[in-house]
Amino acid sequence: MANKNPLEITDKDEMRNWSRSMRAQGKTIGLVPTMGYLHEGHLSLIQESHKQTHLTVVSIYVNPGQFSPTEDLSAYPSDFLGDIQKLKSVPGGVDVIFRPRNLYDYGNKDDGVGGGVGWDQEGGKVVSCVEKSGMEHETWVRVERLEKGLCGISRPVFFRGVATIVTKLFNIVEPDVAVFGKKDYQQWRIIQRMVRDLDFGIKVIGSELVRDDDGLAKSSRNVRLSPDDRQKALSISKSLFKAKFAAENGQIDCQELRNAVIQAVHEAGGKIDYAEIVDQESLEKLEEIKRPAVFCVAAWFGNVRLIDNIEINV
């Protein structure tokens, strides 16, 4: 199939109208939500969408609602022109690039420049998820059990922001299928649960994690690693591979498996946020691996927080 020139849409009504007109023609629509700075991991999500639906929408939106004031929203990398090139070159192409400007601006008279969630009214720049007064955004979707562990401990507003923006994107794009990366394992499970609990008529697909040749999990944040830290960060994937091998050969004690990973990352100079072995669906902590598990790690190298995980099916 020749590559298509994707339609670029910024207006949410125009986006919904496009979807409805395509549906009226019997076409099915896949949505791949991204925050841009695309890499091969994202492109694999698009290819997954191609398998499922006639048409694919890729959204590019750095969501202020999922960053706390102390987090790296302003440092989040961005390269829209590069993203467009990548989306044109992905096999099969994409049909729509949905790039809204501000999904929390409802045009209220009493708002400042940006309106909505945590806009810095001085510079018109997104800074955090803090709520303000008046007529601004105040509706949040929470997946109350799954949001609490793993990344939810150090990032308490993160999954509230993710569930809310995904709900908004679902309601704007109205897709048949949405594809999420298993790199963000907890996020994927949270979206699955949300879709079940809120009865969205949408199928959620989890797409396999993609790694660089040396094993580092692909992430938009990797670009912020120094060459030295990038080398050190390999300790995460290397120790996870070892843990999986050990577990599949009978070493099912989670404390011992966790200690080995924590030690490897620590010795490489990383700072562990968490290293947990949990049930693949409920994300409850396990003491022994006797059912399908996933080993999830978050660690800092320099000022970059990386996450990685590996499924273990003994």
CB-CB contact of 290 with 252 (8 Å): yes
Separation between Cα atoms, residue 250 and residue 256, nearest integer Å: 12
Give min distance, CB of 196 to a second copy, in A. Answer: 6
Question: Which helix (H) or strand (E) segment is 23 a member of?
Answer: helix 12-24
Rule CB under 8 A: choose which of 40, 131, 214, 287 binds a second copy. Answer: 131
Give min distance, CB of 35 to a second copy, in A. Answer: 18
42 is catalytic: yes
Q: How many residues bind a second copy (CB under 8 A)?
A: 36
Separation between Cα atoms, residue 178 and residue 198, nearest integer Å: 15
Cα–Cα distances in angstroms (integers) from residue 168 to residues 61, 68, 306, in the given order: 12, 19, 26
Among positions 139-158, residues that touch a second copy (CB under 8 A) are 139-146
Rule CB under 8 A: choose which of 282, 288, 300, 311 binds a second copy. Answer: 282
Give min distance, CB of 168 to a second copy, in A. Answer: 4
Place of tokens 């018109």: 124
Rule CB under 8 A: choose which of 12, 39, 88, 242 binds a second copy. Answer: 12
Separation between Cα atoms, residue 290 and residue 253, nearest integer Å: 10
Identified catalytic residue from 39, 42, 50, 266 = 42
Residue closer to a second copy (CB basis): 150 or 236: 150
Residue 214 binds a second copy, judged by CB under 8 A: no
Separation between Cα atoms, residue 151 and residue 154, nearest integer Å: 6
Residue 274 binds a second copy, judged by CB under 8 A: no
Give min distance, CB of 257 to a second copy, in A. Answer: 25
Among positions 182-201, residues that touch a second copy (CB under 8 A) are 193-194, 196-201
- At a CB cut-off of 8 Å and minimum separation 6, what does 42 contact? 32, 34, 58, 86, 181
Tell me, residue by residue from 63 to 82, as one string, x for binding to a second copy by CB under 8 A and - for no binding: --------------------
Separation between Cα atoms, residue 21 and residue 32, nearest integer Å: 19
- At a CB cut-off of 8 Å and minimum separation 6, what does 287 contact? 253, 254, 255
Residue 286 binds a second copy, judged by CB under 8 A: no
Residue closer to a second copy (CB basis): 131 or 267: 131
Name the one range near a second copy by CB under 8 A: 135-143, 209-217, 258-266, 291-299. Answer: 135-143
Tell me, residue by residue from 24 to 63, as one string, x for binding to a second copy by CB under 8 A and - for no binding: x---------------------------------------
Give min distance, CB of 17 to a second copy, in A. Answer: 9
CB-CB contact of 158 with 306 (8 Å): no
Q: Where are the beta strands (DSSP E) in 213-301?
A: 271-279, 293-301
Q: What value, to the nearest 5°, has the Cα angle with vertex 154 and ends 151 and 159?
A: 50
Dihedral angle over CA of 20, 22, 24, 28, nearest 10: -100
Residue closer to a second copy (CB basis): 166 or 210: 166
Cα atoms found within 13 Å of the Cα of residue 100, Cβ hemisphere only: 24
Q: Where are the beta strands (DSSP E) in 35-93?
A: 55-60
Residue 11 binds a second copy, judged by CB under 8 A: no
Name the one range near a second copy by CB under 8 A: 1-9, 40-48, 163-171, 204-212. Answer: 163-171
- Tell me which residues touch a second copy (CB under 8 A): 12, 16, 23-24, 103, 106, 131, 134-135, 137-146, 163-164, 167-168, 171-172, 174, 193-194, 196-201, 281-282
Active site residues: 42
